[in-house]
Amino acid sequence: MIRICLICKKYNGKPADQLSGQLPRDRISESPPFQIVGIDFTGAILVKDNKGTHKSYVALFTCAVTRAVHLELVSDMSTKCLLALRRFLSRRGNCKVIYSDNARTFKAAQRELVYFTNILKDSKF
């Protein structure tokens, strides 16, 4: 009867073993800070300045190895927000790898970069 009792099973039960997944090689390899970076954007926040209140966003850069964080304020979610990436790179140095989600901003920036790359390939410099 004791084996069937649910309360006894809860109190006498053993904790389950937690299986943890393998960490990616980028997370465990030794490298300087911000060589391997993840980028994401926060939701809209209200910023007040001398012109009034408007929406802004925060670009969140996270080091994959040290978990250090770098924040950049972005005025809108257009492809101009890649200026935040430029500011980040000028302050922290070039990255080897940048991970991001498939946000519309990144897809639009990819299209623009492909467009300009094709122009440079076609033109005679």
Query: What would the pLDDT profile of 9-24 be if each residue is shown by its tens digit?
Result: 888 878 888 888 888 8
55-102 pLDDT tens trace: 988 999 999 999 999 999 988 877 667 788 889 999 999 889 888 887
> What are the distances in angstroms from CA 116 to CA 97, 99, 104, 112, 123?
22, 22, 18, 6, 10
Instruction: DSSP letter for 81, please.
Output: G
- Quick one: average pLDDT of 21-41? 87
Q: What does residue 103 show for φ and ψ, rounded to 5 degrees?
A: -65, 150
- Tell me if the pTM is above 0.75: no
Q: How far apart are CA 116 and CA 50, in angstroms?
A: 37
- Topology of domain 25-120, CATH: Nucleotidyltransferase; domain 5 (3.30.420)
- What ranges do the domains of the chain cover? 25-120
Rounded-to-integer distance, Cα 71 and Cα 66, Å: 15
97, 102, 108, 113 alpha-carbon torsion, rounded to 10°: 20
